[in-house]
Structures are given as C-alpha cells and as structure tokens.
C-alpha cells in the first residue's frame, strides 16, 4: 500500500475499531451549496483500512455524485475490490481530485467527469466519455442528489422544484438511458433513494418526492430489464454525514443531525458503501428490484 493511502485511512481505521459507538462531536457549521467535504468538521469517514478481496475485479463502474459523501465511499470501496472507476459530479473539483487520489492509491484507474447532471446533454456526455475510456459499463450507480430545506409547501419555488427533480430523478433516467446500450449481461444498476421515500420529511417535501420516484423507477426498471439479465436495485440510507448536510440545514440542526434515529447518530459514508458492494458483486446475484436500508435502525417496511 502506498504511503499516501496509509495516512488517509489511519483515522478511518480508528473510527471503525472503536465501533462508532461514541457519536462524533460536530460543532454548528454551515456551507454554501454544494458543500465541500474537506471543510466539514469532522471530515466524513470514507473508507476503512480493511483490504479488498477482488469481488469487482476488472469491472467498470460509473458513479454519479461520486466526488464526496456516499459516492466517494462507494467509489473507493469498489476500487479496493478491483473495479475501474468513472466519477460524474457537478463542480466540486477539489473533492473529486481527492477521491481520484484515493482510488488511484488502490492501484486502479479513475476518470473525472464534471458537469451538471440536471441537464440531459451532460448526462449523455458523461456516459459517452466513460465508455470512450473503458469500453463498457458493468456497474452504474445513480447517486447524484440535491435538497433544500423548506418549512412549508408554499416556500418551494418552481425553480427549486425543477432543479430538485432534474437532479435527483431525471438524471437517473437520462444517465441510465445513455448507459444501457453499454451494460452487458450480468451488469447491474444501483439507485440511491432515501429513508424519506418511505416515511416522508416535512421540511424536504420535494426531495422526499424524488426519492419515492426513485423507488418506483428501480422496481419498474428491474422488471423491464430482467430478460436482458441486468439487475436493478437500490439503497435507501438514513441520515448520513455528507456535504449535503452542512450545505442545507441551519448550524444547530447540523450539530444534532442523526440523533433522532434508534442508534442516535448519523451514519458515516463508509458504513453505507458495503450495501452497494453487496448489490454490485456476485453476492447479490439473485437479487433485483429490492432496496437495502442502512438507516440506523429505523423500521420502514419497504
């Protein structure tokens, strides 16, 4: 292992060894959207020090929203398992370059694909560039998302509504449409939904609506693609410590984020990523149209 990787993983190993029983101390903080992971206090845990086992050896993965948060953790874990990675992201170049560094430290390749995925042309461009580099896409992870807090339905502007739906669900359609001709038999698609799809969110009504749409999209697409031997599943995380949080909520809410779930803390991205690995690897070969719920113990029956 390269020295740079060892340094990057040292705090994450400590976190996992302690079992995350003690909730990390987060002071009130706020960032402008879309948020920068390196400025978060504490910085999210993106990886563990555990070695890979080759579950995705020679696979090609395209991950949207892969520069930070859950997307980064998934990208690094997939790389550790032998995959080559393409990351589509908005404009957080410093975060994306750090993710690329972590991936390349696992002795695999990573290309960066900046662009606003709320625009169809950028979705198609990202897929085209990934295919030009790697020739195919074995694993597509649709993960890009935005959310805006609004106290009342009347506070959600038409502009915000269109932006939220364009980023969170339209991009899933557009990226998947462009990618499908390049996904071989045995390939898979994994969509990121949310616990809010199952129990709603009074301050994130438009966001929760898009996440509900992702659930239906996933189940419908799974049935549609089953004869093509492409599996489609999803992950519906609960509260996770990512740049979305300090760039959306007021500082005091950020400091208590996740304390209302049974485990009384927000999850770390590194604790969510294994759900994606399970669905992407041979371990999930008999699973399609399903969701995994890493949400700190909340029962959603979905």
DSSP string computed for 114-161: E--TTSHHHHHHHHHHHHHHHS--SEEEE--------SSGGG--HHHH
- For the stretch 257-302, pLDDT in tens is 878 899 999 899 999 999 999 999 999 999 999 999 999 999 997 7
Its pTM stands at 0.90
Residue 34 has pLDDT above 70, yes or no: yes
Q: What is the pLDDT of residues 102-112, one digit of tens each?
A: 999 999 999 99
Region 92-120: mean pLDDT is 96
Say if residue 243's pLDDT is above 80: no
The per-residue pLDDT for 120 is 98
Contact 236, 200 (CB under 8 A): no
Identify the pLDDT of residue 25. 67
Residue 18: both structure tokens together: 């302690």
Instruction: With beta carbons less than 8 A apart as the criterion, state whether 64 and 144 touch.
Output: yes
Range list of β-strands (E), 143-242:
188-192, 231-235
Sorted by sequence, the CB contacts under 8 Å of residue 96 that are 6+ apart come out as: 66, 67, 68, 87, 89, 112, 114
Residue 22 pLDDT grade (very low, low, confident, very high; cuts 50, 70, 90)? low
- CA–CA separation, 245 and 29 (whole Å): 10
Q: What is the pLDDT of residues 127-175, one digit of tens each?
A: 999 999 999 999 999 999 998 989 999 999 999 999 999 999 999 999 9
Q: Are 82 and 108 in contact (CB under 8 A)?
A: yes
The β-bridge relationship of strands 231-235 and 291-292 is parallel
Is residue 11 predicted with pLDDT exceeding 60?
Answer: no
Which residues 6+ apart lie within 8 Å of 81 measured at CB? 52, 53, 54, 55, 56, 57, 277, 281
pLDDT band for position 24 (50/70/90)? low
Average model confidence (pLDDT) across the chain: 89
Average pLDDT of span 45-74: 94
- The answer to whether residue 13 scores a pLDDT higher than 60 is no
Residues 37, 39, 44, 46, Cα dihedral to 10° = 50
Predicted local distance difference test score (pLDDT) of residue 154:
97
Residues with active-site annotation: 207
Coil/strand/helix, residue 192: strand
Is the pLDDT reported for residue 37 higher than 80? no
How far apart (Å, rounded) are the C-alpha atoms in residues 193 and 119? 20
pLDDT at 85 over 70: yes
Write the CA distances from 64 to 50, 113, 145, integer angstroms.
24, 9, 9
Residue reference for tokens 């959310």: 147
Tell me, what's the pLDDT at 253?
75
pLDDT band at 114 (very low <50, low <70, confident <90, very high): very high
Joined tokens for residue 280? 């992407």
For residue 57 the two structure tokens come to 């050896």
**Strand order through the sheet with 110-114:** 110-114, 84-89, 60-64, 139-142, 188-192, 231-235, 291-292
Domain 53-292 has what CATH class?
alpha beta
pLDDT bin (cut points 50, 70, 90) of residue 64 is very high
CA distance 107 to 28: 37
């Amino acid at each position: 292992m390269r020295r740079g990787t060892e340094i990057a993983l040292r705090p994450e190993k400590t976190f996992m060894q302690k079992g995350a029983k003690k909730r990390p101390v987060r002071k009130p903080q706020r960032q402008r959207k879309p948020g920068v992971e390196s400025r978060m206090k504490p910085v999210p845990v993106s990886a563990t020090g555990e070695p890979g086992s080759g579950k995705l050896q020679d696979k090609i993965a395209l991950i949207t929203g892969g520069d930070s948060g859950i997307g980064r953790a998934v990208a690094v874990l997939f790389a550790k398992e032998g995959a080559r990675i393409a990351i589509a992201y908005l404009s957080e170049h410093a975060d994306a370059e750090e993710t690329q560094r972590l991936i390349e430290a696992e002795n695999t390749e990573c290309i960066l694909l900046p662009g606003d995925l709320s625009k169809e042309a950028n979705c198609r461009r990202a897929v085209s560039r990934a295919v030009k580099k790697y020739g195919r896409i074995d694993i597509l992870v649709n993960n890009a998302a935005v959310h805006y807090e609004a106290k009342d339905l009347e506070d959600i502007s038409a502009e915000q509504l269109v932006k939220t739906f364009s980023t969170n669900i339209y991009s899933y359609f557009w990226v998947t449409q462009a990618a499908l001709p390049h996904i071989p038999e045995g390939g898979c698609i994994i969509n990121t939904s949310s616990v809010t799809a199952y129990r709603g969110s009074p301050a994130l009504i438009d966001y929760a609506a898009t996440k509900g749409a992702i659930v239906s999209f996933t189940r419908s697409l799974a049935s549609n693609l089953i004869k093509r031997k492409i599996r489609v599943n999803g992950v519906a995380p609960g509260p996770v410590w990512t740049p979305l949080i300090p760039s959306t909520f007021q500082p005091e809410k950020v400091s208590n984020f996740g304390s209302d779930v049974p485990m009384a803390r927000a999850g770390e991205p590194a604790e969510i990523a294994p759900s994606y690995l399970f669905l992407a690897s041979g371990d999930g070969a008999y699973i399609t149209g399903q969701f995994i719920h890493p949400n700190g113990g909340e029962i959603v029956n979905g």
